[in-house]
Chain A
Amino acid sequence: MACAPRALSRAQLQLNSRASPFPPPLLTVGPPPMEEEQTYLELYLDQCTAQDDLAAPRSPLLSPVVPDDGYIPNTSNSETVFNAHLQEVKGASGHFSSVDLSFLPDELTQESKDQSVIRSKQDIEENGKTQSQQSRLSLPREQDIGLGLISDSTLSKSHSQAYPGDADSDQPSPEKPNSTPLMSITPMTPVTPVSECSGIVPQLQNIVSTVNLACKLDLKKIALHAKNAEYNPKRFAAVIMRIREPRTTALIFSSGKMVCTGAKSEEQSRLAARKYARVVQKLGFPARFLDFKIQNMVGSCDVRFPIRLEGLVLTHQQFSSYEPELFPGLIYRMVKPRIVLLIFVSGKVVLTGAKERSEIYEAFENIYPILKGFKKA
């Protein structure tokens, strides 16, 4: 069985930490040179044929030199798992109809699915490989993915159940199963040499998410019955509730909408939101848990060298805004991905405005070479 073609976005290749649940599938970071692609492709194919019988999917984010190392799902195996999961999702509670699929990248929506398949086909043919089987294989998977990616955690849970004896996975499943199916439909990008990656991983500092509890709430009653709630209608028209684990704060409005802030990861944010919903339930309201969506993610990191902000604002005028009289940092509005970065003279960088973890990683990988250019000024 030939391996399904996989493409790794640069950010994912270089990171030894969790991948985002929803990596942008058709992202190519600039047009790669043809010859490089060719040789990497040959390497990849050789390794592929050698490891064809490996069943256990390990973390796909091992060293970039061997991109496919753990990333060889048995296509049949994973498909059955997906189908099983699909039923699980469908059976789960009719949330299906109210699920918000807006987080999916545009290419994965029904309309442009054909286009994406065609595009991936073209890319693959450029590489000189006949990938027709794989693309056909990938098409049904796309549909599975579209539905299967509704809740990353349930998917991962099912996968961890499916591979109980997976001793190789050093990290729990959240990242692997999601990345593998998506990888299989995207065109392959050449492996980037280790020297180009920054080696720095931005840490997530705050996640803001919203959820709809779908019932009208009596805020006075909530403030009375809950210890961890504060309600001052003259100041703000919502109850401010806090829980200790995960340490988060929620704004609960009388319409039933809730905003949850302060979590350090997507899963923690979801767990916290569920806890708040459970508190509201225990207070006697018929709260549900609809349309959980992550609205904003904030990350930060340190490049460890000083940056000449005046030089940066000169060369990247159309993206940067540097007003030392107002704020000591430079505000860089990156277009792709749409992230705002605050860059300080000490080398600390704050990234915000992301809806997905991969956007933060990608934005940092984009800015790092620019900042390195201003290192020796």
Chain B
Amino acid sequence: MPGGGHCPDCGSTELVEDSHYSQSQLVCSDCGCVVTEGVLTTTFSDEGNLREVTYSRSTGENDQVSRSQQRGLRRVRDLCRVLQLPSTFEDTAVAYYQQAYRHSGIRAARLQKKEVLVGCCVLITCRQHNWPLTMGTVCALLYADLDVFSGTYMQIVKLLGLDVPSLCLADLVKTYCSSFRLFQASPSVPPKYVEDKEKMLSRTLQLVELADETWLVTGRRPLPVITAATFLAWQSLQPSHRLTCSLARFCKLANVDLPYPASSRLQELLSVLLRMAERLAWLQVLKLDKRSVVKHIGDLLQHRHTLVRKAFRDGTAEMEAGEKELRERCQGPEQGKEEVASSSLDLPEGKRPASPTPLLPPCMLKPPKRICPPPPVSTVTGDENISDSEIEQYLRTPQEIKDFEKAQAARQAARSVSNPP
């Protein structure tokens, strides 16, 4: 029937349009040869292209959803794919985004906030599955400001009433350490600097646990502590060759950004290790400093539990006991070190190392910047008489008003001259 069609086999012009399992075909009615075939999938509006259409586009589900929400959902999916998250995370994150969008405050928010919301939903999903994703990473991927991110994150957690578990430090250590490019020799990494991944991971984990126990992690950003711990672990595995390498150089070699607080975390960790070294019999004689203690980190970590117990004591409980002893012995020559709570040791100073320092967060160990005097007890009742003179000190005299107006006018004139009309 259609004009101009010949069957290639028998040359007949009797071609019939038929469909075989909903696939449209042009068939010769004489010999049954299939001349042309259509595409099995549905085609989009212009049939010339014969493109496939995804399920979500062929159904009407997106007609109900606003365009900005669709964009946001696409961004959520893209972010999950970039982070290589499992597919179940994607669905959960999308569900959170849709849930958030039901609130009018979110629908009316600025685009910047909606963009950051994408990151928040993905972060919440990861946290709930104990997937170690830091806010810094998400902000870097979204080119977002951490302040904006934090505001939106706190708001959405409250709005959706979600229970978000804390960041899992052990998993973060594993992920973060694996990102260090030190496990294979390369042009930038000398062979002496290459390290075995498993050894470094286990040592870093131990160091992070030690930091956690000695109050170096609570209240601080987690990543700089892990950077410092990784550096120390790496150095201690081959100290002879690696002591000369600084933290900044290490991060550059490993192709990892150096977070700013990492150097102070490093110093704090080293001072903790030094205190522990003072309690280890064969290290007491060595008079270690912050550089040489690195060589003995292996030993220190092996006995870390007992050492921490011996080197530090509960700061508060023993402080009172220590103070009492101090008072009792204040006449004696036994002054000891000038610590707030002196030791309760009976042995003379020379033989024993320094008295155990209190196990406190660094912010409590530092002396207060300024001692706030207790506020004077004020006897204000709120209904005292207010003298006129007191009020008049705040008012301008007529002369002052005139001068002020003149000055303002002059300033206005100067401004209008400088700004070309």
Contact = CB atoms under 8 A, between A and B. Distances in A.
Nearest to A325: B135
Interface in B183-221: 215, 217-221
Contact of B364 (A203, A245, A306): A306
A345 B215 contact: yes
A190 B328 CA distance: 40
Interface in B92-141: 134-136
A345 B363 contact: yes
Interface residues on B, range: 35 or more
Interface in B339-389: 360-361, 363-364, 374-375, 377-384, 386, 388
B80 to A, nearest CB: 20
Nearest to B161: A318
Contacts of A151: 383
A346 interface: yes
Contacts, number: 131
Nearest to A327: B150
Contacts of A225: 395-396, 401
Contact of A267 (B219, B380, B391, B394): B380
- Looking at A157, A266, A324, which has the most chain B CB atoms within 10 Å of its CB? A324
B320 to A, nearest CB: 11
Contacts of B380: 246, 265, 267-268, 271
A156 B380 CA distance: 12
A346 B364 contact: yes
B360 A306 contact: yes
Given A275-B390, A329-B219, A322 B166 contact: yes
B18 interface: no
B335 interface: no
A268 B166 contact: no
B369 to A, nearest CB: 13
A322 B167 CA distance: 10
Given A225-B396, A279-B395, A268 B382 contact: yes
Interface residues of A, number: 56
A372 to B, nearest CB: 11
Interface in B254-303: none
A156 B150 contact: no
Contact of B378 (A268, A344, A346): A268
A156 B384 CA distance: 13
B154 interface: yes
Nearest to B372: A203
- Looking at A226, A304, A318, A325, which has the most chain B CB atoms within 10 Å of its CB? A325
B154 to A, nearest CB: 7
A271 B383 CA distance: 6
A271 B379 CA distance: 12
A330 B233 CA distance: 30
B405 to A, nearest CB: 7
Contact of B381 (A174, A321, A376): A174
Interface in B388-408: 388, 390-396, 400-401, 404-405
A336 interface: no
B364 A274 contact: no
A328 B395 contact: no
Nearest to A281: B391
A226 B395 contact: yes
B61 interface: no
B157 interface: yes
15 contacts: A153-B382, A203-B375, A225-B396, A226-B394, A226-B395, A227-B393, A227-B394, A268-B378, A275-B390, A278-B386, A310-B218, A317-B163, A318-B163, A345-B361, A375-B316
Interface of B: 134-136, 146, 150, 153-154, 157, 163, 166-167, 215, 217-222, 314-317, 360-361, 363-364, 374-375, 377-384, 386, 388, 390-396, 400-401, 404-405
Q: Which 8 A-B residue pairs are closest in the complex by CB-CB distance?
A: A270-B382, A267-B382, A328-B219, A345-B219, A326-B150, A153-B382, A305-B316, A267-B380
Given A245-B390, A271-B382, A328-B220, 8 more contacts: A227-B394, A268-B382, A306-B316, A306-B364, A309-B218, A310-B166, A321-B157, A375-B316
